[in-house]
Chain A
Amino acid sequence: MPANWWTRNRRYFLYTVREFTALPMALWLLWLLYDIKSAGSGAANFQPPRSAAFVAFSAVCFLFATYHSYTFLKLAGVIMHVKVLDKTVPPRAIVLTMFGLWAVASIVIGAVLIGFAR
């Protein structure tokens, strides 16, 4: 297999992007761990980053994270074979449910985080 196999068609490329999202997410989480460690040495020394570079970095990671979640949830309809009362639940219903749950979870977690920040 040639090293550029993943450039051969659109689906191979998007798959590789999907898998690649693990890298920016891991990097951002490493920063978060470092930030938590810093916060552990006292509120006085703790300086949350405000630089434009950091915002840009976070935005990029956020896009990758969203893409990761989107692709994963979209495929839930394929992965899950659910039967209710002997009838197979249509894949679309599973996918919509998953996206619904994602939205709810996002709102709840967001509300909690913002509440603590206040």
Chain B
Amino acid sequence: MSSRGPRRGGQFSAPDSIDGQVESYDVLVVGGGLAGIRAAIAAVEANPRITVGMISKVYPMRSHTVSAEGGAAAALRPEDSYENHAFDTIKGSDYLADQDVVEAFVREAPIELIQMEHWGCPWSRDPDGKISARPFGGMTTWRTCFAADKTGFHMLHTVFQTSLKYEQIHRHDEAFVTKLLVEDSRCVGVIALDQRSGRFDAITAKAVILATGGLGRVYAFTTNGNICTGDGMALGYRAGVGLKDMEMVQFHPTGLPFTGILITEAVRGEGGYLTNKNGDRFLKDYVPNKMELGPRDIISRAMVTEFEAGRGFEGPHGKYMNLDVRHLGEEVIDRKLPFMRELGREFVGIDIVHEPIPVRPVQHYMMGGVDADISGATTLLGLYAAGECANVGLNGGNRLGSNSLSECLVFGAASGRAAAEYASTAKAVTSNPVDAMLWDEARRVEAAYLEKTGGDEKIGTIREEMQRDMDAGAGVFRTKEGLEKLTDQLGGLRDRFERIKIEDSSRTFNTELTAALELDFMLEVSQTIVASALAREESRGAHARRDFPDRNDEKYLKHTVAFSRGPEDPRPRLEYRDVRITNFKPQARVY
């Protein structure tokens, strides 16, 4: 079903007839990154007779998976064990992970990496021809498998190219989902804006899987690409699903100043040193046993603490530390870290073989996300979530590096299979209410953005202010005052957002409209981050409160779940749910 009809003055048309062609699938995956494509493949492999749609606002090769560098973790080697991987992950999460989920994850991860290998992923190898592994932060053994230092790039292209051989997967490229369709307490599909034609389409499905990635662009300084705007999280939130642990935002210790481009943890895995202004490997005062291979939250806090003590370098783009790999030698760097050498040359004008790399903590990953269980199911029947946009309970308060790529595979596959099974027996979607919902949504967007007169605010201005405010108030260290101020600032930005002016009235590839839709989503999810952070009066994992510097298991060994109160009230309603403990009792987290 699509909206078409006579055009009025170059603006979007009100539908006065519904096209007879129905786009309807058994399973619809929203998002074309590693988790999304893996889910699509898993769904058709579970049931080759179903149809699977995959809708993405960009061509799948552009998904932000492509920029992941370091590796994917799995207990593949004989000297490793599931228990070891599970414990490292749970301790890394600061005991906020749901331990049953972790235990299932560590058992599936090795199988997924072998599957990737069979699909052609060029894993780097040991001399005996088996898949190699490197050390990584918070991992007590070498279990991070890698494809040079472009692991995400190779994994994404591998699954995307492999997905092309399945005729049952139909792609909708460059289509922007604006709303989930919910009917009778069941998710029955999406409304999407086809960017090329400007047409609104309703795409129905018995099961929908959200796999839209992270939300880094709510921050000014982030490794994330332009497309990481929390779309799936906002879509689920507005459909009544909770967003879990939104206060848990990961700051990666080593981003390049100014651009925020990621310098992989693998640099430290291969033996790189972090040194301050005095040339000291300062991490000896924070994580003496692990040094540069400590978990990301602790190292980021260490760096900020050093900055505040005046021991950071001062540069034209802020304070930074040195990440030094000169001692590794050219041969190792060219074999294991060639992309880093390229990035150093291009964007900083240095040769990392001869000069240290300037780095500073940068927003990178979102542990929080759509509340989903071990099979990706959310509380809304027919709606699943996987990958970074979901929170299945794996990463808790802090994710260990290289668990995310494995996470996308394991839970992408799990949700694909679960969605396929559910769709095999679910009732067909009826068109009548869907037609009405399509009309409503098309009119909503047209009225709110394209037909509005008298607006005076620029999207770019509001977005940049939001990003700066989030950097300041919801960064590595938080305070009550900072978070309360941020709540007010976000409220003010939301009011101003209601008055934005869109200059682009074209129907064709209107990226100003999609920027507005993304900003709408970003303002929404930002509120959940701030509210959750304000309510968690302890420090755990990546959430560090200056006013509550200790962990409080008695009160907060729980997940924060944020629910929308509806469009009138931007602040979420918070619930708490106990963390599921199986084999590993929470202890003090020392490295």
Chain A–chain B contact at Cβ < 8 A: no
State the B residues within 8 Å of A (CB). none
